[in-house]
DNA sequence: ACCGGTCTGTTCGGTTCCTAACATAACGAT
DNA sequence: ATCGTTATGTTAGGAACCGAACAGACCGGT
């Protein structure tokens, strides 16, 4: 029963016709993803795909070996391992668990078979692939044009939407990797938001206090990717 | 015969088994894309797809109504209209002809039918979709971390690869939209490259003089997306 | 030869973010 | 209670780029 719930909490799986998803079930394992887990490294083979239910996974590009930048955020609306749905088994990005929680896991081989056998699954995943491309595109422009404070606000809101809670754990150091800036920049932006009573935080615990206020502080990208998803 | 050549000049079409591509042929029209043509506007319906042979098409996101930023560059290695291969008929980006030249055009309806009927076409396009996602991802990081001069060098090299010529027409104003910076920034970067005898240009005519030199001036992203494509 | 439009070069003050340190504060373990 | 570790705050100088405006150069048309 608990497993059943987990499956349905992922919107991709939940949207499948009953028959399709019953065929899928035997290959799915309920797992818990822990904060900091690295699901894929760039250039490495994809061994499993994941359908997050209450967990959140960041997709990061690694530049010049050191700098990281988040390009996508996957929660219960998506799947981690999209390249497999495109016939490629190498991940171009690092997949990092950013919010611990439940997910359904499936082996790459099992997924390939299930994917080929199920037209509804193909349709869902291809539509999601498109949404993810749009998200990556939007993020690219956002990172280019918007200031850190607005990007931070957007990122906190997107995370909240995916974890389903106004409070979550993450350090400024971690955030700096997501936003592709120095930690100092995050400190400045976060202090500013806290000073305006939009958020509060201490030692890795962040809580959103003023939702509409934070949305106003975020760049328009937040609304755009939200209404498109 | 001329049409035959055009078809084969697009690597996606050329890689199809003879049978698949013969089924495709009746729906394909040889067209010439002109510099500045807008094939799609963001949010609008995709009416046709394009397989460039000697033309080059930029994919741009539009932010806040005014700023533009290139996220992808499509030449003979790809197709313009990838959303259709994912079951979506709305383009999230503007598609702008950046290098005039020949392409094969196909109506959205014709493409959908052909796509559903041809497994090899599906495979090729899905693989290309993955490559395009990787390119967008790389571009996102590049725009975030690398300085204008290196990005300009990369962009010139990528364009050269796709038009197949060391000389092409484009103004600094145009380049500034591609790179997402002010024109002044392009002037600075271009002057610097010219001063080092890597390129020469005048009134929209750019010529690459020193290939290895320009590659050295470009950021590593150039090599990365090249070897992956 | 002249004019208008396009393309390129330059300037200058201001903002954002970087680089690189160092300082403080909270927490956990012994 | 103390100490090491982790998280956050602060500072200062500099680089990259912005915003806005203007100046010169080149071209085509008449």
Set of chain B residues whose Cβ sits within 8 Å of the Cβ of A92: 133-134, 137-138, 228
Residues A81, A74, A77, A108: what is their CA dihedral angle, to the nearest 10 degrees? 10
Min Cα distance A181 → chain B (Å) is: 9
pLDDT score, position A125: 97
Look at residue B153 and tell me whether its pLDDT is greater than 80: yes
Q: State the Cα–Cα distance between residues A18 and B102, nearest whole angstrom.
A: 47
**Chain center to CA of B131:** 12
Q: Determine if strand D comes within 7 Å of the CB of A203.
A: yes
Q: Determine the residue among A43, A90, A141 to mutate to test chain B binding: the one whose Cβ has the most chain B Cβ atoms within 10 Å.
A: A141
DSSP assignment of B24-91 equals HGGG-EEEEEPTT-EEE-TTSB--EEEEESS-EEEEEEEETTTEEEEEEEE-TTS-B-HHHHTT--B-
CB of A119 less than 8 A from some CB of B? no
The phi, psi pair for B9, rounded to 5°, reads: -70, -20
- What's the confidence (pLDDT) of residue B67? 84
The answer to whether residues A58 and A70 touch, using CB atoms and an 8 Å cutoff, is yes
What value, to the nearest 5°, has the Cα angle with vertex B37 and ends B35 and B42? 135
Is strand C less than 7 A from the beta carbon of A72? Answer: no
**Whether pLDDT at B179 is above 80:** yes
* Across A112-116, A151-155, B2-6, B143-147, least confident range: B2-6
Residues with pLDDT less than 70, chain A: 1-8, 228-229
Dihedrals phi, psi of A160, to nearest 5 degrees: -60, -45
Q: Integer distance in angstroms from the first to the last C-alpha of chain B?
A: 28
How many Å does it take to go from CA A184 to C1' C23? 14
The rounded distance, in Å, linking the Cα atoms of A108 and B22 is 34
The predicted-structure confidence for A136-188, as pLDDT tens digits, reads as follows: 999 999 999 999 999 999 999 999 988 888 998 899 999 999 999 999 999 99
Tell me, what's the pLDDT at A9?
Answer: 85
In the block, which residue shows the tokens 């003879």?
Answer: B18
Q: Mean pLDDT over residues B151-169, rounded?
A: 91
**Which residues of chain A does B134 touch, with a Cβ-Cβ cutoff of 8 Å?**
92
* Partner-chain contact A61 B127, CB within 8 Å: no
Chain A residues with CB-CB distance to B145 below 8 A:
63-64, 67, 69, 180
Strand D: list positions under 7 Å from protein Cβ.
Answer: 6-12, 16-21, 26-27
Under 8 Å CB-to-CB from A205, ≥6 apart: which residues?
A: A167, A169
Contact A47, A82 (CB under 8 A): no
A 10 A CB-CB count for B220 gives: 15
Which CA distances in Å does A178 have to A172, B133, B142, B206, B219?
10, 19, 15, 37, 21
Nucleotide nearest to B191 (CA to C1'): C9
């Amino acid at each position: 029963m608990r497993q059943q719930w987990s499956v349905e909490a992922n919107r991709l799986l939940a949207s499948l016709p009953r028959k399709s998803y019953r065929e899928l079930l035997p290959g799915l394992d309920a797992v818990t993803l822990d904060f900091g887990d690295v699901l894929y490294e760039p250039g490495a083979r994809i061994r499993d795909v994941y359908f997050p239910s209450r967990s959140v996974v960041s997709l990061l590009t690694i530049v010049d070996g050191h700098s990281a930048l988040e390009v996508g955020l996957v929660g219960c609306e998506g799947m981690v391992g999209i390249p497999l749905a495109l016939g490629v088994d190498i991940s171009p990005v690092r997949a990092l668990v950013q919010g611990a929680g439940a997910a359904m896991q499936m082996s790459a081989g099992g997924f390939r078979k299930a994917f080929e056998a199920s037209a509804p699954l193909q349709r869902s995943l291809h539509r999601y692939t498109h949404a993810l491309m749009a998200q990556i595109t939007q993020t690219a422009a956002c990172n280019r044009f918007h200031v850190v404070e607005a990007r931070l606000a957007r990122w906190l809101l997107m995370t909240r939407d995916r974890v389903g809670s106004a409070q979550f754990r993450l350090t400024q150091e971690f955030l700096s990797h997501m936003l592709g800036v120095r930690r100092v920049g995050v400190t400045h932006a976060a202090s500013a938001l806290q000073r305006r009573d939009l958020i509060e935080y201490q030692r890795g615990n962040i809580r959103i206090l003023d939702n509409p206020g934070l949305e106003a502080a975020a760049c328009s990208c937040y609304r755009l990717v939200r209404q498109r998803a």
